[in-house]
Amino acid sequence: MPENSTREPGKKLLYVATALFAVGLLAIVAIFVIAAVSDTEPGIVFYLIALAAPIGFLLAIFSALRSGRRVR
């Protein structure tokens, strides 16, 4: 079996995990910026989007563990 076909799903999962983590971090930064600049509190949407950071982190760990296994 070609080696590229076995590693392709792991790479896609890592890209999704990285994107989720980045979006979550941007939401966290936006929460702090909105709180510092204006008198209003950030909406709940920002807090919900910020949950993408830990989800992306966990997916990245899962992807790393999954791709680190050796095939016997």
Q: pLDDT (tens digit, 9 = 90+) per residue, 17-53?
A: 999 999 999 999 999 999 999 999 989 999 999 999 9
pLDDT of residue 30: 96
pLDDT of residue 2: 52
Is the pLDDT at 5 greater than 90? The verdict is: no
If one counts every other C-beta atom within 10 angstroms of the C-beta of residue 11, the result is: 12
If one counts every other C-beta atom within 10 angstroms of the C-beta of residue 63, the result is: 20
pLDDT of residue 4: 53
Residue with tokens 């910020």: 50
Integer Cα distance of 42 and 15 in angstroms: 28
Burial of 31: CB neighbours in 10 Å, binned 0-12, 13-18, 19+: middle
Q: Residue ranges per domain, the chain? A: 3-68
pLDDT of residue 21: 97
